[in-house]
Amino acid sequence: MMTDTIPNLTAFDEAALDQAFAALARQAQDAAAALNGEADAEAFRLDWLGRKQGRLNDVSGRWLKAAPPEAKKALGLRFNALKAEVERLLDAALGAGPSDAALAAEAIDITLPGTRRLTGAEHPITRTLNEIVSVFAALGYSVGVGPEVETDYYNFESMNFPPGHPARDTQDTLVVAAQDRRPLRDRLLLRTHTSPVQMRTMEMQPPPVRIVIPGKVHRNDAQDATHSPIFHQVEGLCVDTNITFSDLKGTLDHAMKALFGSAVKTRFFPSFFPFTEPSADVQISCIFCGGKGCRKCKNSGWIELLGCGMVDPAVFAFAAEKQPAYDPKKISGFAFGMGVERIAMMKYGISEIGSFYAGDMRFLGQFV
């Protein structure tokens, strides 16, 4: 089909280039207008786009290579425009269908399995923490939050842990370095419990107060099957007039039944916490054996789960420094606290606390 040869260019100014490329474009348009069928279209393609004898290849060899350096850019732009025009004419002659590359990119092999989008899920600690909070939210408790880096005052002193108190030794504390010049009450540490949020809340809000406080806490504990230097707590505080120990027992009994089932029983044993008086440890009937006795409960039928007590008047005295409404002669309240990991381990039958933090997807995938 190629009958005309590509003439040599003798001038490379803008006008000469425009004239030369316009002539080639008209030739291509005239040739495309005369096409009739796929055979003609293939001949047109070889005539213009063939790698060895195509007219555009000839243009590249005769014009581009012979052009002076200052004319190569202008010539190259016109060459690309001519090539695009030839390809458009060819597509139109073939019915303007999609190219083979486009068809290959869009092809779907219906014999392959479908692509499954992975569904995220709550971490078992987050799920357990949210379950605990929802139980108390249904009882009218709001959620309190506070900083993980605390002062000694809020973490210890305001919670009735005065300097030198032996109970401080039971919470092996991670302290921020280089604070020796600060007063003790202003020194920073990683909170060992979420109790500081109780004091911060009372300082900002007069009674009545009903809050539940979920959060991460830190202690310098050696890692073993049931201990971790990082863990989570949920504490609660209820302050009003005429709050009694019976209110505390009824609240926690309801919460344990909501978490572990209506058949669960609770019992209270005397204990000691600096910020409550009287204080108690709470046990629930073993959820594994129904209270009959098994290895999980050391054949006692009971599992110790949390601590609680009536708020010590000394704690109210600290709050009264900023909120006089916390007069221990006029109000009372109770507080409680539980470890989230311990409850999660019981609910899901997990024996190693480290499994929560290992990031093993084989473990976490069980909770999707």
Rg, Å, the chain Cα set: 40
For 221-248, b where at least 16 C-beta lie within 10 A, e where not — what string? Answer: eeeeeeebebbbbbbbbbbeeebeeebb
Tokens coding 75:
């010539």
Average pLDDT over residues 82-105: 71
Residue 5 belongs to a domain: no
Reading the block at residue 2, the tokens are 């190629």
In a domain, 114, yes or no: no
Helix, strand, or coil here: 338?
A: strand
In a domain, 7, yes or no: no
Residue 361 lies in a domain: yes
Domain count, the chain: 2
Measured CA to CA, the distance from residue 281 to residue 261 in angstroms comes to 20
Same domain, 95 and 138: no
Give 178 or 120, the one with higher predicted confidence.
178
Quick one: pLDDT band at residue 303, thresholds 50, 70, 90? very high
Note the pLDDT tens digit of each residue in 316-349.
999 999 999 999 999 999 999 999 999 999 888 8
Contact (Cβ atoms closer than 8 angstroms) between residue 124 and residue 367: yes
The amino acid that residue 157 corresponds to is E
Flag whether 1 is in a domain. Answer: no
Query: What percent of the chain lies above the pLDDT cut of 90?
Result: 47
In a domain, 270, yes or no: yes
Sheet (strand 230-240) strand order: 142-143, 209-218, 230-240, 332-339, 302-311, 276-285, 266-273
Q: Are residues 278 and 317 in the same domain?
A: yes
Residue 195 sits in the same domain as residue 99 = no
Residue at 111 is within a domain? no
My answer on whether 165 and 36 are in the same domain is no
Domain membership flag for residue 116 = no
User: Residue 1: its pLDDT value, please?
Assistant: 45
Q: What is the pTM of this model?
A: 0.66
Is 129 found in the same domain as 265? yes
Domain range for 72: 14-106
The residue out of 106, 132, 149 marking a domain boundary is 106
